[in-house]
Amino acid sequence: MTSRFKPARTGAAVAGVAAMIMMAAAIPASAEPATGKVDRDLDVIGYQVNVGDDWLSDLNTNLIGFRLSDGTVLSMYCVEIETDIDADHEMVEQPWDAYPNADSPFHENRAEINWVLHHGYPAQSLDALAGVLPAAPNDGIDVLEAIAATQAAVWHYSDGTDLNRDDPLSGDGSDEAAAADALALYDYLTGDANVGIGDQPTPALEVDPTTLSGAAGTRIGPFTVTTTGSVDELTADLPDGVQITDADGNELAADAIENGTELYLDVPAGAVEGSGTFELTASARVDTGRLFVGRNYDEHPTQSLIVATAEESQIAVTAGAEWTATPPTTTTPGATPAPQPKNTAELAETGASVVAPIVIGVVLIGAGVGSLLFLRRRRERA
Instruction: Give the pLDDT band (50/70/90) at residue 19.
Output: very low
b vs e for 138-149, b when ≥16 Cβ sit within 10 Å of the residue's Cβ? beebbebbbbbb
| pLDDT score of 349 | 39
Q: Tell me the pLDDT tens digit for each residue of 231-277.
A: 999 999 999 999 999 999 999 999 999 999 999 999 999 999 999 99
| pLDDT score of 32 | 60
Helices first, then strands: H and E counts in the chain: 6, 17
| Mean pLDDT confidence for 112-141 | 94
Choose among 21, 187, 154, 30: nearest CA to 98. 30
Q: Indicate if the pLDDT at residue 2 is higher than 60.
A: no
Q: Report how far apart the first and last C-alpha atoms of the chain are (Å, whole number).
A: 75
| Mean pLDDT confidence for 85-99 | 96
Check whether the bond before 209 is cis (ω within 30° of 0).
Answer: yes
With a CB cutoff of 8 Å and minimum separation 6, the contacts of 214 are: 220, 265, 267, 321, 323, 324
DSSP-derived secondary structure letter, 218: S
- Choice among 29-33, 70-74, 86-90 with the minimum mean pLDDT: 29-33
Q: Tell me the pLDDT tens digit for each residue of 133-184.
A: 988 888 889 999 999 999 999 999 999 999 999 999 987 778 999 999 999 9
Higher-confidence position of 349 and 129: 129
| Mean pLDDT confidence for 291-300 | 96
Instruction: Give the pLDDT band (50/70/90) at residue 54.
Output: low
Q: How much of the chain exceeds pLDDT 70, in percent? A: 76
Q: How much of the chain exceeds pLDDT 90, in percent? A: 69
Q: Give me the chain's average pLDDT, please.
A: 83
| Mean pLDDT confidence for 344-349 | 38
> ∠ at Cα 140 (43, 306), nearest 5°?
30
| pLDDT score of 36 | 96
Instruction: Give the pLDDT band (50/70/90) at residue 220.
Output: very high
Return the CA Rg of the chain: 40
User: What is the distance between the alpha carbons of residues 208 and 213, in angstroms, rounded to a whole number?
Assistant: 13
Instruction: Give the pLDDT band (50/70/90) at residue 4.
Output: very low
Q: Indicate if the pLDDT at residue 342 is higher than 60.
A: no
Instruction: Give the pLDDT band (50/70/90) at residue 22.
Output: very low
